[in-house]
Each structure stands twice: as C-alpha cells, then as structure tokens.
Amino acid sequence: MAIPGRELYDDPRFFAGYRRLRETRSGLNEVLEIPALARLLPDVSGASVVDLGCGAGALARRLAGAGAAHVLGVDASARMLALARPHPGVGYLRADLETLALRPGSADLVVSSLALHYVADYTGLVARIATWLRPGGRLVFSVEHPVCTARDPMAGWVRAGRAGDAGHDDRVWAVDDYADEGPRTQTWFVDGVLKYHRRVSTLVNGLLAAGLALLAVVEPVPDPDEVDRRPDLADELRRPSFLMLAAQRPRHAAASDGGPPAPRQDSGTPSVR
C-alpha cells in the first residue's frame, strides 16, 4: 500500500522515525539543505510569506523572526503541526497542497522545504503559486534531487565491483528510469512511502510555464571543513541529494494587492490554528 505525503507524517511509526532523525540532526537537513535554502531567500522585512509543507514550522518562525510581516505555514499533518510552536508572526493552516487555494496577489514569498516531491500535480501547484505571488514576488523551494528520486534512494549506492577513481571505494550511485516520471514508493521508516520523480527539466519548465522567471538553480555541496568533521558528507560530492530552485513573478504583471495570504473563502480549507 502506498502512503501519500499528506498522510505519511501522521503515520505513528513513520512520525516516530522522522522525529528522531530531525531531533538527532543526523540527516542532511541541518548541514546542507537548510543553509543552502536560506542563502536563496530574499530580504523578508515586511513581507507576506507562505511556507508550503511547513512541518514543525522552524523555517516559518525563522522568517517571522527575520522581519516578515506575516508567515502562513501550511501542512497536511496534524502531528507535525502539533509540534509547531506558536509565534506572533506565524499562522498555521492544516491543508493539502494539492488543493490549497490562497488569495491571488497576496504573497511576496512562497517557500517550501522538501515537500513538493510529495505532490502529484507539480505543474498545477506551481501555476497556483504563481497567481498567489505579487508582481516581483518569489518562489524558493527545495526537493529531493531527481538523481535520487529516479530510483529508490535507499538502494542508490551499488557495488561497481572495482575501486573507483580518485580514491573512491567501489560504490557508484545508480541512476535509472530517469525519463520515466511519476510515482515511486520506497521504504523509509515504513513501507510504501510515496514520492514523485520528475526530471530537472520538468521542474524548471513548470516554473517557466507558470510565467515565472528562473533566478537560481542550486545543488548544494558541503564545505571541505564540514567533510573533515563528518566524513560521511563526502558522498554529497559524488551525487546531489537536493535541488533548489528560485523563481520570480515578473514585476510588470498586473498588480493586485489582495492583503495577507489568507485561504480563499470558497476553498473549504480548515481553519488557521
């Protein structure tokens, strides 16, 4: 049985494993993904921000602390939102990104950290995000890198049977079925974790098709001193774990100041916590 992202984080067995991973900071988030995403973010002073798949809200609270006028953190998981500490500048909304509707022209910045690879309709979501942005507003997000989502990333390293170049061991990262876009299931704390594989070109072209201008493409790698401290990070120099894209709604788009990014009245979305 496949478990979609909107249900996954409320699965008690998955949640326990994921929470342990984040609390022990043993994953790559803190060392690689969070700093790289932060470097892509614009000055948020006075900005209206939406964080899609906000989880426990750490990024949302950080952006509010950095001067954003308001941050709306959206997540489907009650368990994740229950971990989200209140902050005067942050509102949390339990909603599914597949159907989320926000006020057009209401956001200066839409961010998303490692959530969009759970969404089936990427193109549709990006098209909706483009309408939520004010002219000049930005979308900045990270996903698991397509080099990792093409096959089951838990089975990514395979034995090549001979030592590699540059002193590498005999493992290589296997990429296969890259052009076969669509759902993938893997075992990650539980069986049947459902994610969506898309090519880099599809992720970029989805932004362009939504009328956004591409600003940056980032595949973060650790600094040499980080690799000295944590030798396992050397693998991040051999294949990319994360892809980050930043895009902007052109400034000349018709202005419509819809106020802060509240859910549309007709969307039927649950109430803001």
Ligand X SMILES: C[S@@+](CC[C@H](N)C(=O)[O-])C[C@H]1O[C@@H](n2cnc3c(N)ncnc32)[C@H](O)[C@@H]1O
Confirm or reject binding of residue 55 to ligand X (CB under 6 A).
yes
Q: Which of 6, 61, 103, 128 binds ligand X (CB under 6 A)?
A: 6
Count CB neighbours of 174 within 10 A. Answer: 15
- Per DSSP, the three-state class of 83 is helix
Amino acid making up residue 144:
E
Closest by CA to 244, choosing from 266, 228, 221, 211, is 221
Q: Which two tokens stand for residue 158?
A: 């395979």
Q: Which of 19, 87, 98, 226 binds ligand X (CB under 6 A)?
A: 98
The CB-of-98 to ligand X minimum distance in angstroms stands at 5
Q: Which residues contact 9 (CB under 8 A, 6 or more apart)?
A: 15, 18, 55, 75, 76, 77, 79, 80
Confirm or reject binding of residue 17 to ligand X (CB under 6 A).
no
The CB-of-57 to ligand X minimum distance in angstroms stands at 8
Cα–Cα distance, 80 to 25 (Å, whole number): 17
- H or E element, residue 134: strand 133-144
Confirm or reject binding of residue 126 to ligand X (CB under 6 A).
no
- Per DSSP, the three-state class of 137 is strand
Q: Which of 28, 93, 114, 212 binds ligand X (CB under 6 A)?
A: 114
Confirm or reject binding of residue 102 to ligand X (CB under 6 A).
no
The CB-of-216 to ligand X minimum distance in angstroms stands at 19
Q: Which of 63, 84, 119, 125 binds ligand X (CB under 6 A)?
A: 119
Interface residue list for ligand X (CB under 6 A): 5-6, 9, 53-55, 58, 75-77, 80, 96-98, 113-115, 118-119
